[in-house]
Amino acid sequence: MKVFVTGVNGQLGHDVMNELAKRGYEGVGSDLAPEYAGVADNTAVTKAPYVALDITDAEAVDKVISKVKPDVIIHCAAWTAVDMAEDDDKVAAVRKVNVGGTQNIANVAKKLDVPMVYLSTDYVFDGQGTTPWKPDFKGYKPMNVYGETKLGGEEAVANTLDKYFIVRIAWVFGVNGHNFIKTMLKVGANHDEVKVVNDQIGTPTYTFDLARLLVDMIETDKYGYYHATNSELPDTESGYDENGTKTGYISWYDFTKEIYRQAGYKTKVTPVTTAEYGLSKAVRPFNSRLDKSKLVENGFKPLPVWPDAVRRYLEILKKQGFFDELGK
């Protein structure tokens, strides 16, 4: 199987390419840069075929992907800078990438009659309430430019193709890029106390684990909408496990507490409300709970529990010398 992957200079594209290689599939990577420009970690993606591609250029998309002749397209590339997307001078560019670029890729997938995987977000919903969002719920109500444009991308895929997987994820982290874990480790290394919001609830997604699921998906024809994050810890009576880690869905505060516990940080973590925290240009969802039961219903293996993902991720950061640079 030959798979065309966009966004390989980002967190998920990097891990998808490596997962494909692990299974003996041929991954062809692409991104904006003239050559692979992600983390130089000597993994399969760093040596895999790569083509420079601006997904907003319809002609180039058609030409490049038609030449590759993939069996499947996994579209990881996106404008993901949520706050910057709100700048008046950026809105058109964000739309061009997230909606236009996705439409360009969907058009080629249709022409070649191949399935497409599109990664999306809980930001397509209004972020209110406490009920976990189901993947086939159609009451879309994005609250910011990023959410609007990712929904536009979903519609481009669903309105153009019959064979597609739309997979919504949240709170993403991986080795190849900036993310919340790295930020909190840096901040915690030189502050005695950090303040973290406690009223935005969801679960994180480790791209290494997600990549495995996406490749599982393309081995099937169980198309449709899915939600995929790492799994919650099973509920307990106290709401915490034996390590003091929050069970069920968590807040960014709970996430930070666990990151610090595992990293051996003594930094104090103080919970605050979104209103108290302030500082963000784009409206953030309070409810990022994603219902992932459809994965199991369709025979897919769920992602491991999130504290286990954090443990494995921190091990990689240690090996890469991340903590040495922080002086930890």
Q: Where are the beta strands (DSSP E) in 170-231?
A: 172-173, 193-197, 201-202, 205-206, 224-227, 230-231
By the 8 A CB rule, do 142 and 148 touch? yes
The dihedrals phi and psi of 264, each to the nearest 5 degrees, come to: 75, 25
Structure tokens at 326: 């922080």
Distance, in Å, from the CA atom of 277 to the CA atom of 111, rounded to the nearest integer, reads 48
Non-local CB neighbours of 74 within 8 Å, separated by 6+ positions: 3, 4, 5, 6, 13, 16, 116, 117, 214, 218
Structure tokens at 267: 């930094």
Burial (CB count <10 Å: 0-12, 13-18, 19+), residue 193: exposed
Q: How far is CA 98 from CA 106, 126, 148, 217, 276, in A?
A: 12, 19, 9, 22, 31
The residues annotated as belonging to the active site are 146
Distance, in Å, from the CA atom of 58 to the CA atom of 69, rounded to the nearest integer, reads 16
CA distance from start to end of the chain: 43
The dihedrals phi and psi of 120, each to the nearest 5 degrees, come to: -130, -155
